[in-house]
Amino acid sequence: MTAAEPLWHPSPNFGPRRDGLRPELIVLHYTAMESAEAALARLCDPQFEVSAHYLITAQGRLLQLVAEDMRAWHAGAGEWAGRGDINSRSIGIELDNRGTHPFSEPQMHRLEALLPQIMQRWDIPPEGVIGHSDMAPGRKWDPGPRFDWARLSRVGLARAAAAVPVATGGRCDHFRQLAAARGFTADVDDATLLQAVRLRYRPWGTGALCAADLQVLAE
């Protein structure tokens, strides 16, 4: 086995994709557990009914739990770009991280190697690489404020935040329109939506809606 190939560790928690759907998204998660071993045990325990297609440890070890053409149980309730049943539309990748510390270099390096392979196999564009918090705002926070989305965007593996000025005035309706155009269509209130957008594009952002929050969503 080469270093680039995943170690197969099958989970019983999966099923067929519904309604003929195929992967069009890649959803990134953090495990929020004390160790990769604990996360792996949870993802493979039928009692918990949760899984993902891949798990990447902090040391950069890649494990595959579910075949890509099958439906893993990682996303739960949520919506992206007006579409539900994200489990049937996505590949789920769990990253061994508690959400309170930076993601390791070996882990990010392995993720950067894995993403292009999945994207090529399923013709998924950079805009289709999202976080769990993107499609389930208010319910989920991962991969969290410590995840380096800018790093992925610089190498074409995620949508980059726009850097062009927009005429706003800080209006919430304009913000919702821009957010929906970028895929944030879950039915949540303005504060929760702002929180989700900031987790993705401006994790350092605080306070009320401002022009910078709209700017990152512009074309």
| Residues with active-site annotation | 94
Whole-Å CA distances, 181 to 85, 109, 137: 19, 30, 16
Burial class of residue 153, CB neighbours in 10 A (0-12, 13-18, 19+): middle
Strand (E) or helix (H) holding 113: helix 105-122
d(CA 126, CA 115): 10
3-class SS shares of the chain: helix, strand, coil, % to 5: 35, 15, 50
Q: How far is CA 56 from the centre of its chain?
A: 14
